[in-house]
Amino acid sequence: MKSDVFALVWIVCVVIGIALIIWAIIMCLRKFSNWRIAKNSKKYFELNKETCEKSKKKGKVILESCAQYRDSIKYFNLNRIIRCSNSVVSNSSQNSTKYLLKYSDINNSVEDMERLEFISKFLTDYASFVEEMSRASDKIKKNLPLFYKIFSDKRKLSYLVCGLNYELANIKEPFLYFLYISPGGRSRNENKITIDISTIQTLVREVSKSVSKKGHSKHQRSIMTNDLREAIKKRDNYTCCKCGNSVYDEPNLLLEVDHIIPISKGGKTEASNLQTLCWRCNRLKSDKSN
Ligand SMILES: [Zn+2]
């Protein structure tokens, strides 16, 4: 009985040993194959010249903008874990755009919008680069001798032949990771928001909306001058357009000039969008719109 168990353990060990040896040999052959291809990269480059030249060019562009991409991620304080309450984790999965804007350092400024646009362009270019490299690998593989065809690492082929660092294949999209762990550590909730191309485009849209809104408000407020206020009151005969109260009935009546469509809703500072209101009607209006 005991010897049976021994025999079984022995056989299992031998099988595992043989598998490990085979695996190690394959790994060595793969290393050797990759090394040979890198050594003869010029030859394979020439064999697939058109494809390889295109890939190499794209790779260089990616390589050049890599540092700026990483800087932008750091600048926006992305790629980090945020320890927060359980409800924040849940809400962040419902409304990822809002929580990305709230918990990153993305501001509603022209500069940040341009940075976001850069990230968006980088991610788009990068996706097309990775696709291109995979297509190039397919092509290169077709022209390889059988030995290399079997043993070389297909994913790395185009990088080896084009002389590009394989790390270029591992650039990740930015993310924010929301994590809740209860005080006792027993319950846990998490949500990782990956900022892919469509998310970044949504962020660009959100920020650009706020930026243009801010610009609009600032401009419309700046052209609201005292002269214009006086002119509108005079036009409306110093009478409230809502209740009809006027300075003729009530000499101390405080009259204000109101935007019919508020600036915050896209209204402009021009005579057709302005009216005279007494302060009471104006308060009432702004209370309603809040
Ligand atoms: Zn009034």
Specify the pLDDT at position 83: 95
Give the torsion sign (CA, 201, 202, 206, 212): positive
Percent of the chain with pLDDT over 90: 79
Looking at residues 214-232, what average pLDDT do you find?
A: 93
CA of 256 to the centre of ligand 1 (A): 10
CB 117 within 8 A of CB 211: no
CA of 71 to the centre of ligand 1 (A): 55
CA of 216 to the centre of ligand 1 (A): 28
Q: Indicate if the pLDDT at residue 289 is higher than 90.
A: no
Domain boundary among 194, 215, 236: 215
Looking at residues 17-34, what average pLDDT do you find?
A: 94
CA of 220 to the centre of ligand 1 (A): 24
> Residues 6 or more apart from 272 whose CB is under 8 A from it?
none
User: Are 167 and 256 found together in one domain?
Assistant: no
Q: How many domains does the chain have?
A: 2
Specify the pLDDT at position 215: 87
Specify the pLDDT at position 3: 78
Establish if 193 belongs to a structural domain.
Answer: yes
CA of 226 to the centre of ligand 1 (A): 20
Establish if 17 belongs to a structural domain.
Answer: no
Specify the pLDDT at position 236: 97
User: Are 94 and 235 found together in one domain?
Assistant: no
Specify the pLDDT at position 252: 92
User: Are 181 and 69 found together in one domain?
Assistant: yes
CA of 227 to the centre of ligand 1 (A): 22
**pLDDT band (50, 70, 90) for residue 290:** low
Establish if 71 belongs to a structural domain.
Answer: yes
User: Are 137 and 85 found together in one domain?
Assistant: yes
Establish if 202 belongs to a structural domain.
Answer: yes
User: Are 280 and 156 found together in one domain?
Assistant: no
What's the pLDDT tens digit per position in 130-185? 999 999 999 999 988 898 888 888 899 999 999 999 999 999 999 999 999 998 88
Specify the pLDDT at position 192: 96
Looking at residues 59-70, what average pLDDT do you find?
A: 94
User: Are 282 and 194 found together in one domain?
Assistant: no
Establish if 44 belongs to a structural domain.
Answer: yes
**pLDDT band (50, 70, 90) for residue 5:** confident
User: Are 157 and 205 found together in one domain?
Assistant: yes
CA of 180 to the centre of ligand 1 (A): 53
Looking at residues 257-280, what average pLDDT do you find?
A: 94
**pLDDT band (50, 70, 90) for residue 123:** very high
**pLDDT band (50, 70, 90) for residue 223:** very high
Domain boundary among 166, 188, 215: 215
CB 33 within 8 A of CB 147: yes
User: Are 158 and 274 found together in one domain?
Assistant: no
What's the pLDDT tens digit per position in 74-88? 999 999 999 999 999
Establish if 203 belongs to a structural domain.
Answer: yes
User: Are 230 and 189 found together in one domain?
Assistant: no
Specify the pLDDT at position 271: 95
User: Are 102 and 200 found together in one domain?
Assistant: yes
Domain that holds residue 111: 28-215
CA of 275 to the centre of ligand 1 (A): 11
Looking at residues 237-265, what average pLDDT do you find?
A: 94
Domain boundary among 199, 215, 231: 215
CA of 47 to the centre of ligand 1 (A): 84
CA of 286 to the centre of ligand 1 (A): 13
User: Are 49 and 72 found together in one domain?
Assistant: yes
Q: Angle, nearest 10°, between helix axes 49-75 and 154-162?
A: 100
Per-chain mean pLDDT for the chain:
92
Looking at residues 52-70, what average pLDDT do you find?
A: 93
Establish if 18 belongs to a structural domain.
Answer: no
User: Are 177 and 236 found together in one domain?
Assistant: no
Establish if 103 belongs to a structural domain.
Answer: yes
Specify the pLDDT at position 4: 84
Q: DSSP secondary structure string, the chain? A: -HHHHHHHHHHHHHHHHHHHHHHHHHHHHHHHHHHHHHHTHHHHHHHTHHHHHHHHHHHHHHHHHHHHHHHHHHHTT-SEEEE--HHHHHHHHH-HHHHHHHHS---SSHHHHHHHHHHHHHHHHHHHHHHHHHHHHHHHHHTS-HHHHHHS-HHHHHHHHHT--GGGGGPPPPEEEEEEE-TTS--EEEEEEE--HHHHHHHHHHHHHHHHHHHHHHHHHHT--HHHHHHHHHHTTTB-TTT--BTTT-TT--EEEEESS-GGGT--SSGGGEEEEEHHHHHHHHHHH-
